[in-house]
């Protein structure tokens, strides 16, 4: 679900080199992200029934309750869905020079990015581990962290602090 072709950030051949596709069109960060989110939500919705069925069957075959196994997979799908904004910011970051252009002003951003990933991972693990009543507030915290990180990267990206990276053939 998170791999494969992400629209708007995949590479396209321009003047003999590969460049990010969003460099060819007057496409804003938010517009491209909305397209990515919709496509990944459709992919997730298409694969979720298969995952639920497989987890229920695995739960039965190991002598566990099928409902508990299916609920665990459903919580995992919800955590993945909450991570889509953070993943889309990462896809944009992959196609720019924001991590290779390390100047003094960028160093605090790297530490901040590591803190965001740590907070997101902690909230996601809490969502998976907590009982049902507490899993939903933790899921909301996971989504808030993901959307906040996406918004902060949008601010950085839209300020024109990054350049698109061209890849060799």
Contact 56, 66 (CB under 8 A): yes
So what's the pLDDT on residue 1? 44
Give every residue of the chain whose pLDDT is below 70, as ranges.
1-27, 95-106, 160-169
Cα(151)–Cα(143) distance, rounded to whole angstroms?
A: 12
Supply the pLDDT for residue 160. 67
Please tell me the distance from the alpha carbon of residue 162 to that of residue 97, in angstroms, as a whole number.
6
Q: Is the whole-model pTM more than 0.85?
A: no
Contact, 75 vs 135, CB < 8 A?
yes
What 8-state DSSP symbol labels residue 54?
H
pLDDT at 118: 92
């Amino acid at each position: 679900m998170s791999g494969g072709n992400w629209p708007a950030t995949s590479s396209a051949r321009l003047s003999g080199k590969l460049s990010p596709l969003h460099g060819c069109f007057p496409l804003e960060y938010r517009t491209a992200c909305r397209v990515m989110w919709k496509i990944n939500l459709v992919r997730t919705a298409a694969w979720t029934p298969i995952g639920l069925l497989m987890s229920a069957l695995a739960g039965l075959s190991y002598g566990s309750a099928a409902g508990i196994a299916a609920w665990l997979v459903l919580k995992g799908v919800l955590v993945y869905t909450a991570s889509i904004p953070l993943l889309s910011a990462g896809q944009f970051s992959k196609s720019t020079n924001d991590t290779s252009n390390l100047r003094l002003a960028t160093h605090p951003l790297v530490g901040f990015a590591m803190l965001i990933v740590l907070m997101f991972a902690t909230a996601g693990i809490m969502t998976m581990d907590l009982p049902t009543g507490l899993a939903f507030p933790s899921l909301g915290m996971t989504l808030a962290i993901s959307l906040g990180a996406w918004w902060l990267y949008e601010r950085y990206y839209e300020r024109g602090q990054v350049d698109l990276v061209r890849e060799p053939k």
